Amino acid sequence: MASGNAGTSGNAHRWLIVFALGYLALLVDGADVMMYGLTLTRIKHEFGLSNVEAGALGSLTLLGMAIGGILGGWASDSLGRVRVVVWAMVLFSVGAGLLGFTHSFVEFAVVRFISAMGIGCMVLVTTLVAEYVPMARRSLILGVLQTAISAGYITVIALSNWILPHYGWRMLFYVAVAPVFIALAIHFFVPEPPTWRVSEATRHPSGRRWHDNRYALIFANREARRMFILWSLASVFALSGFYGLNNWLPTYLESELHIKFSSMTGYMTATWVVAFIGKIVAGWLGDRWSRRGVYALGCVGAAIFLPVIVLFHSRENIAWLMLVFGFLYGVPLGTIGTFMSESFETRIRGTAVGGSYNVGRFCSGAAPVVIGFIATQFSIGMGFLVVGAVFFLSGMTVLFIPDRLHDTNVNEAEAPIAEASDGALTRTPAA
- Give me the CATH number covering residue 101: 1.20.1250.20
- Read off the pTM: 0.72
Question: In the structure, what pLDDT confidence band is assigned to residue 234 with cuts at 50, 70 and 90?
Answer: very high
Q: Is residue 382 part of a domain?
A: yes
Q: Is residue 352 part of a domain?
A: yes
Average pLDDT over residues 152-181: 87
Q: What's CA 207's distance to the chain center, in Å?
A: 31
Q: Is residue 1 part of a domain?
A: no
Q: Is residue 108 part of a domain?
A: yes
- As a whole number of Å, the CA-based R_g of the chain is 21
Q: Is residue 2 part of a domain?
A: no
Strands 425-427 and 417-419: antiparallel
Sign of CA dihedral 422, 427, 429, 431: positive
pLDDT in tens, 255-291: 777 666 666 667 777 887 888 888 889 888 888 888 8
pLDDT in tens, 114-135: 999 998 888 888 888 888 887 6
Q: What percentage of residues in the chain have a pLDDT greater than 90?
A: 18
Cβ atoms within 10 Å, residue 346: 25
Instruction: Give Cα separations from 347 to 73, 203, 208, 240 (angstroms).
Output: 11, 9, 13, 29
Higher pLDDT, 301 or 341: 301
**Cα gap 261→382, rounded to integer Å:** 22
Q: Is residue 363 part of a domain?
A: yes
Q: Is residue 3 part of a domain?
A: no
pLDDT in tens, 370-423: 887 887 788 777 888 888 889 999 999 999 999 888 877 665 544 443 333 333
Q: Is residue 102 part of a domain?
A: yes
**Cα gap 353→394, rounded to integer Å:** 16
Average pLDDT over residues 170-175: 90
Q: Which domain holds residue 303?
A: 8-427
Split into its structural domains, the chain has a count of: 1
